[in-house]
Amino acid sequence: MPYIMLLMVLFGGHASAHQFTPTYPELESSYVSGVLKTTMDLFNSRKDVSYYEIGVFDGEWNGVPFATESRIVKIDYLRRKKIDIFIRESDRAKAVYICSKSKLLARGSAVTSISSRICSKIK
Amino acid sequence: MFKKVMLAAIVCLSAAAVAADVEVVGTVASKCVVTTDTSGVYGNPSPSVLSTAAVDAGVEPIVRFDVIQAGFYKAKISSPNTFSESPVLNDVVNWTGDVSVGEVTDASMSAYDTSKIVYDNITEVDLTVAGSTWFKVSSQAAYGYDKALPAGTYRAVISAECIAK
């Protein structure tokens, strides 16, 4: 355990994270009839990432139509954003996952980059 | 008399202000946090090979998964099978890669190495223990049949996904 703590202290300054909640969002009626809505919370503590892509998928990872303010969300470092997702009531049974994926910028450095994606499952 | 009443009122009011509580609210809910701990670097041990192994002068990328509650998520990590940036390559690139458990905050997480499911370039791990797990991703790219890689910048992307079950 002390070794783990030492590692966390040593690398803590370099680590950067991506968080997308809730784990099991619930679709509720929206102000538009026939359209359901849920709100997701995206937190960006990845210094190397400023943009995230939002997607809605079925159980086989096929895209499901949805609407949101912007599919590519700009979110600054250490900022949190509430994202409203609208899904047609007719797609309610199809929609299974709501995901956020980090968008990496081409930088031309000889490194491997890490793309992160977090998917919540619709209740 | 009036002054005394005013003074008493001020003392009482200021005492009330001092005693005011400041509330801090927090919620513990199932959550997955994907943290990029270390970006990898390819070493070039021979003209035809790029490798993240330390013996090849590379750096293995490390990604950390934090789960607040056990059993709600699975991790899906893909090692590269293509370059996201490279000079023009006229021959095939043979990719090999592996994902292994590095550090853990709970000893029972070491079992992830045996319970993981591997297919193609993807490793899936059921995150059955709450806490943090560091996954190391190794990657090696061999060009053609001992063919020298063209000079230039090579870049590959590792995908780390946390999917609610």
pLDDT tens digits, chain A, 123 residues: what are they? 444 333 333 333 445 789 999 999 999 999 999 999 999 999 999 888 899 999 999 999 999 999 999 999 999 999 999 999 999 999 999 999 999 999 987 665 546 688 999 999 999
Q: Is position B93 within any domain?
A: yes
Burial class of residue A70 (count of CB atoms within 10 Å of its CB; 0-12, 13-18, 19+)? exposed
The closest alpha carbon to A98, from A65, A57, A53, A50, belongs to A57
**pLDDT tens profile B108-147:** 999 999 999 999 999 999 999 999 999 999 999 999 998 9
**Domain annotation covers residue B106:** yes
Fold of A15-121: Immunoglobulin-like (2.60.40)
Parent domain of B145? 30-164
Task: Tell me which of A7, A38, A109, A114 to substitute to probe the interface with B (most B C-beta atoms closer than 10 Å).
Answer: A114
Please write the tens of the pLDDT for every residue from A75-91.
999 999 999 999 999 99
Partner-chain contact B37 A4, CB within 8 Å: no
Report the pLDDT value the prediction gives residue A19, as an integer from 0 to 100: 93
Contacts of A58 in chain B (CB under 8 A): none
For residue B58, the domain's CATH number is: 2.60.40
**Whether the predicted pLDDT of B3 surpasses 90:** no
Number of domains in chain B: 1
8 A C-beta contact, residue A47 and residue A79: no
Taking Cα atoms as reference points, which of B147, B148, B125 lies closest to residue B135? B125
- Is B4 part of any domain? no
Domain boundaries, chain A: 15-121
Residue B1 falls inside a structural domain: no
Residue of B nearest to A42 (CA): B33
User: Which residue of A18, A23, A113 is in closest CB contact with B29?
Assistant: A23
> Is the pTM for the entire model greater than 0.95?
no
Residue in chain B lying closest to A25 (CA): B164
pLDDT of residue B102: 95
Instruction: Note the pLDDT tens digit of each residue in B26-67.
Output: 778 789 999 999 989 999 999 999 999 999 999 999 999 999
Report chain A residues touching chain B, CB-CB < 8 A.
1, 3-4, 7, 11, 14-24, 46, 48, 97, 104, 106-121
The rounded percent of chain B whose pLDDT value lies above 90 is 75
Residues B33/B38/B44/B50 CA torsion (nearest 10 deg): 0
Complex ipTM over 0.85: no
**B135 and B60 in contact (C-beta within 8 Å)?**
no
A112, B72: Cβ pair inside 8 Å? no
B19 part of a folded domain: no
